[in-house]
Each structure stands twice: as C-alpha cells, then as structure tokens.
Amino acid sequence: MIVRPHQHWLAQIFVWHGSVLAKISTRLLLNFLLSIAVIVMLPWYSTLGIRFTLAPFSILGVAIAVFLGFRNNACYSRYVEARQLWGQLMIASRSLLREVKNTLPEDPALSDFVRIQIAFAHCLRMTLRRQPQSATLARYLSEADLQQVVMAHSPANRILLLMGNWLAVRRADGQLSDILFHSLNNRLNDMSVVLAGCERIANTPIPFAYTLILHRTVYLFCIMLPFALVSDLHYMTPFVSVLISYTFISLDALAEELEEPFGMENNDLSLDAICNAIEIDLLQMNDDTPVPAKMMPDKYYQLT
C-alpha cells in the first residue's frame, strides 16, 4: 500500500511510484507506435476508400467507461470490505486479550495465549498471500501446536481451535465461569467471522467472463482508435490516442490490482503493517518484551 503525505497538485501529476503508469507504459508505447504507423499508412488506405469516423467510437467509449466504472466499483468494494475485516480483527484481538487479562490476571500461561493470538494474525496474512508459514509461526507456537497448524486444511482455523482449547482448560479448572467463557468465546467467533470473510474474498474473484469481455473491448478500442483520429488530427493522433488509451487501460489495470486486495501490489492492503500493529498492541497490553519496532513506509512511501 502506498501511503503518501499530501502533495501539491502539480507534483502529483509527475508521481511514478504507486501509479499504474509503470505497469502499462509498454502498452502505451505500443499504442503510440501504432498511431505513427497509421499516419504513415494514411495515404495508402485512403485510396482504398476506407474511412473511420469518430461516431461509433464515441458511443463505444461511453459504454466502455460505464462498464469500467461498474467493475472498478465492484473491485473497490472488495478492497474496502477486506480492510474492514482486518480492522475487525484488530478490534477483536485487543478486546479478547483485555477480557482474558482482566479475568485471569495471574495466569502464568497468559504470554502463551498472547503468542497464539499473534500467530493467528500472521497465519491469516500468509494464508491469504499463499506464503510459507512454518518459519514465521515457529516463533509463536510450540512444536506440537505448529505441526497441527501446518498440517490443517485451514491453518488459521486450527489456531482458533488452540485458543478455544486454552480457554476450555481454564473453564474446566474452574477459573472461568460459564458466562465468562461464553463472552470470551464470542470474541473467538468474531475472529472466525473475519477468517471466513477474508477467505470468501480471496477465493471468489469477479467472474472471469465479465473481466475478459471488458479487457478485450478496451484493447480493441485502443487499437482501432488511431484509425478514427488520424483523418482529423493527423500528426496529433499519437498524443491524443495515448491520452485516451491511458484513461481506459489504467482503469482496467487498477481494477486488476484492487480485485485481489491481499496481494503484494502497490495498491494492495498493507497486511504486514497491520500484523505488526496487532503484535505490538498485544505484547504491550501484556507487558511482554521484546516488542518489535513499528513498521514504517520505505523511501517510496510503501507498506507491505
């Protein structure tokens, strides 16, 4: 995720890092070269009686813009929902530890519970990004628990079960009443809702056929556009064609990034930073040390 301070409007025009321009620059260059070729070929295909007009492109451009807007809204909604789910996870983690610490302040194994909570956040992050988990989770889980987690179909769900078992042992020992256990179990249910919501977003992309038809239409439109512009604009055709193509292709590329909010693209969610914040909060709440340093943006104002 790119987290930039407020910039002057003129400086924003020339921002490169975090813009989709870096990703689509080759495509825009091809459109520019195609426009030059069309200018060169204009006398030849004019003799054939071939003439494109702007009228159909105007109608098609409006239609493409409308459907791109719908797709971008759908992708942005996925992004917003994903961020809300991780916000709910942060709330549930803090609330769960606060209630457990207030209820069992002298429990010698409270630090173990904190580490299991931290492991859940990291496990969910790595599951959504399809990253290997063993090395990271080994810092927080015992060897026996780690083996159970990495062998599970849903590792994060297995960690929820470990937290539930930890609370169930205290309930069986009489340290937790049924009412308090029920309250703490509701916090685990909140975390389970977050897990299911993230899995739904990660495993249910926007229908491929819908994405494909828009993708094809955008590129066919950009390929044919110079032929319609050249009769009226002549040597200005490459510049106008690239400008219009930038608008459509960049919206298409941005939708691809937002469709998968848990990835590692510039405009995806900063899950590493969120997990880092959760870990710092939980360790400080339990007065545990050492506490990791707060993750800060790099020189490109980027958080992973």
Q: What percent of the chain has pLDDT over 90?
A: 59
Contact indicator for 25, 249 with CB cutoff of 8 Å: no
258, two tokens: 């937002």
The C-alpha atoms of residue 245 and residue 34 are separated, in whole angstroms, by 12
Taking residues 238-248, report their average pLDDT: 93
Task: Assign 177 to helix, strand or coil.
Answer: coil
pLDDT tens string 101-122: 999 988 889 999 999 999 999 9
| Between residues 48 and 225, the one the model is more confident about | 225
pTM: 0.88
pLDDT tens string 64-109: 888 888 889 999 999 999 999 999 999 999 999 999 999 998 888 9
pLDDT band, residue 50 (cuts 50/70/90):
low
89, two tokens: 């996870």
The C-alpha atoms of residue 88 and residue 239 are separated, in whole angstroms, by 47
Report which residue type is found at 243: L
Kindly list the distances between the CA atom of residue 270 and the CA atoms of 42, 117, 216, 222, 284, in Å, as whole numbers in the listed order: 49, 19, 31, 33, 22
CA-nearest of 296, 294, 271, 289 to 114 is 289
At residue 22, the pLDDT reads: 84
